[in-house]
């Protein structure tokens, strides 16, 4: 009996699920047909040309040849043995392009022109007639990629003070913690928006979010699922600096990571979470992964995070996208 091909995207996180799409496209092209997707987020894949159907992770898989990605490699308690040399290693997601992480799960790598993430769901929403607004994504995740609440509030105040509306998006969700090495809940941040909309924890759909971002002045976010989602739109993207090398996460659009994209870094540019020198320093072994949510330089604050002034200036450089 010939079984149907399928990809099993073994993650509950939005960004990590989106990062599987280039591998999904590669598999579909290889089989010369749309394939089934097992995923924690079936609604993401509506209308996708590479997808035959999208099913929940716990669906029956007996009729399928499964190509599982992500989680088998992410498990830091699992080591891989190269054989007679007795060389054991772990996959280090902080040092790898997150899209390639899925591809490597099936034994391939992606070429530059295969790295774009495409989605086909979009739906309008009521935003009270707001125009020329900035979308921000203020959530608490690993400390190294969480901009503090005072910075978000100061940025909102700067924008509102110049008559620029702000729409805050994001919701409490599960994700893997690089500090605790386990799945945790990430929280949103309590903010005051005088001009704009606070959609934090509003349950806004992905289709609505894509529509919202496509019509924005720009999207401001840390390394996050929203960064990857914004990369499926034509929005201007401003990514805030953190300890992971941004080139391993920045979206590919039109064959480049520079299209309508700006990375705003802070005073420290060492990108310690992506440098195995620090893995060796912490564990005496490059295969002992340190707590990536912490500053591996030992600073009491994250100097890789940008100042509010730097982010504000980059926002003011972006062009209005309204027709």
Structural domain contains residue 128: no
Neighbours of 83 (CB within 10 A): 6
Partners of 174 in the β-ladder: 185
Structural domain contains residue 125: no
What is the rounded distance in angstroms from the CA atom of residue 14 to the CA atom of residue 231? Answer: 13
**Closest to 9 in 3D by CA, of 132, 50, 20, 1:** 20
pLDDT of residue 89: 76
pLDDT of residue 93: 86
Q: What is the mean pLDDT of the chain?
A: 91
Query: Is the same domain home to 90 and 174?
Result: no
Structural domain contains residue 127: no
Reported as a pLDDT band with limits 50, 70 and 90, residue 287 is confident
Please count the structural domains in the chain.
2
Query: Is the same domain home to 164 and 102?
Result: no
Whichever domain contains 284, its CATH number is 3.40.50.2000
Query: Is the same domain home to 55 and 138?
Result: no
Least confident of 175-189, 209-223, 237-251, 270-284: 175-189
Residue 323 clears pLDDT 50, i.e. is over it: no
DSSP element (H, E) containing 159: helix 149-161
**Residues 240-266: tens digit of each pLDDT:** 999 999 999 999 999 999 999 999 999
Structural domain contains residue 122: no
Query: Is the same domain home to 247 and 302?
Result: yes
Residue 3 clears pLDDT 60, i.e. is over it: yes
Partners of 168 in the β-ladder: 136, 198
Residue 58 clears pLDDT 90, i.e. is over it: yes
What is the rounded distance in angstroms from the CA atom of residue 154 to the CA atom of residue 189? Answer: 13
Q: Give how far the C-alpha of residue 17 lies from the chain's centroid of Cα atoms, to the nearest Å.
A: 9
Query: Is the same domain home to 205 and 266?
Result: yes
pLDDT of residue 172: 77
Average pLDDT over residues 264-287: 91
Which letter, b or e, does each residue of 274-300 get, where b requires 16 or more Cβ atoms within 10 Å of its Cβ? Answer: bbeebbeeeeeebbebbbbbbbbeeee
Query: Is the same domain home to 105 and 177?
Result: no
Q: Give how far the C-alpha of residue 114 lies from the chain's centroid of Cα atoms, to the nearest Å.
A: 17
pLDDT of residue 322: 35
**Residues 98-151: tens digit of each pLDDT:** 999 999 999 999 999 999 999 999 999 999 999 999 999 998 888 999 999 999
- Boundary-marking domain end, from 60, 80, 114: 114
Q: Is 217 helix (H, G, I), strand (E, B) or coil?
A: coil
* Residue 138 contacts residue 172 (beta carbons within 8 Å): no
Structural domain contains residue 120: no
- Boundary-marking domain end, from 114, 148, 170: 114
- Boundary-marking domain end, from 79, 114, 149: 114
Structural domain contains residue 216: yes
* Residue 149 contacts residue 189 (beta carbons within 8 Å): yes
Query: Is the same domain home to 308 and 159?
Result: yes
Measured on CA atoms in the order 50, 258, 204, 223, is the torsion positive or negative?
positive
* Residue 152 contacts residue 190 (beta carbons within 8 Å): no
Structural domain contains residue 152: yes
**Closest to 130 in 3D by CA, of 204, 217, 205:** 217
**Closest to 187 in 3D by CA, of 197, 177, 195, 262:** 177
Residue 72 clears pLDDT 90, i.e. is over it: no
Residue 231 clears pLDDT 60, i.e. is over it: yes
* Residue 194 contacts residue 130 (beta carbons within 8 Å): no
Query: Is the same domain home to 107 and 231?
Result: no
Residue 255 domain boundaries: 134-317
Average pLDDT over residues 208-231: 97
* Residue 209 contacts residue 235 (beta carbons within 8 Å): no
**Residues 157-195: tens digit of each pLDDT:** 999 999 999 999 998 766 655 555 555 666 788 899 999
Tokens 């996959």 belong to which residue?
Answer: 91
* Residue 7 contacts residue 26 (beta carbons within 8 Å): no
Question: What percent of the chain is modeled with pLDDT above 70?
Answer: 90
Query: Is the same domain home to 102 and 143?
Result: no
- Who wins on pLDDT, 316 or 74? 316
What phi and psi, each to the nearest 5 degrees, are found at residue 79? -110, 155
Query: Is the same domain home to 153 and 35?
Result: no
Here the tokens at position 119 are 């989605």
* Residue 13 contacts residue 174 (beta carbons within 8 Å): yes
Residue 59 clears pLDDT 60, i.e. is over it: yes
pLDDT of residue 321: 36
**Closest to 12 in 3D by CA, of 263, 185, 181:** 185
Reported as a pLDDT band with limits 50, 70 and 90, residue 95 is very high
Query: Is the same domain home to 247 and 277?
Result: yes
Query: Is the same domain home to 39 and 138?
Result: no
Residue 318 clears pLDDT 90, i.e. is over it: no
Cut 0.85: pTM above it: yes
């Amino acid at each position: 009996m010939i079984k149907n091909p399928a990809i099993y995207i073994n993650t509950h996180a939005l960004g990590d699920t989106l990062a599987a799409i280039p591998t999904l496209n590669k598999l579909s092209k290889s089989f010369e047909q749309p394939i089934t997707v097992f995923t924690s987020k079936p609604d993401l894949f509506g209308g996708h040309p590479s997808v035959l159907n999208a099913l929940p992770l716990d669906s029956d898989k007996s009729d399928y040849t499964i190509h599982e990605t992500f989680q088998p490699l992410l498990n830091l308690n699992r080591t891989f043995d190269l054989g007679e040399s007795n060389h054991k290693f772990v996959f280090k997601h902080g040092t790898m392009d997150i899209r390639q992480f899925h591809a490597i799960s099936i034994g391939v790598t992606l070429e530059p022109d295969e790295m774009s993430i495409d989605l086909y769901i979009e739906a309008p929403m009521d935003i009270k007639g707001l125009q020329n607004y900035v979308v921000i994504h203020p959530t608490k995740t690993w400390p190294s990629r969480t901009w503090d609440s005072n910075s978000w509030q100061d940025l909102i105040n700067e924008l509102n003070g110049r008559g620029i509306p702000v729409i805050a998006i994001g919701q409490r969700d599960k994700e893997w913690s690089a500090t605790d090495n386990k799945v945790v809940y990430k929280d949103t941040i309590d903010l005051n928006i005088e001009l704009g909309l606070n959609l934090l924890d509003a349950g806004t759909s992905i289709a609505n979010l894509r529509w919202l971002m496509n019509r924005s002045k720009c999207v401001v976010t840390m390394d996050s699922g929203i960064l990857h989602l914004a990369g499926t739109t034509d929005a201007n993207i401003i990514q805030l600096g953190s300890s992971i090398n941004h080139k391993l996460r920045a979206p590919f659009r039109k064959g480049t990571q520079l299209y309508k994209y700006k990375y705003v870094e802070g005073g420290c540019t060492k990108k310690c979470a992506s440098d195995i020198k620090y893995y060796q320093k912490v564990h005496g072994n490059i295969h002992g992964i340190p707590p990536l949510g912490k500053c591996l330089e030992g600073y009491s604050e994250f100097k890789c995070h940008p100042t509010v002034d730097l982010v504000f200036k980059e926002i003011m450089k972006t062009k209005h996208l309204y027709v």
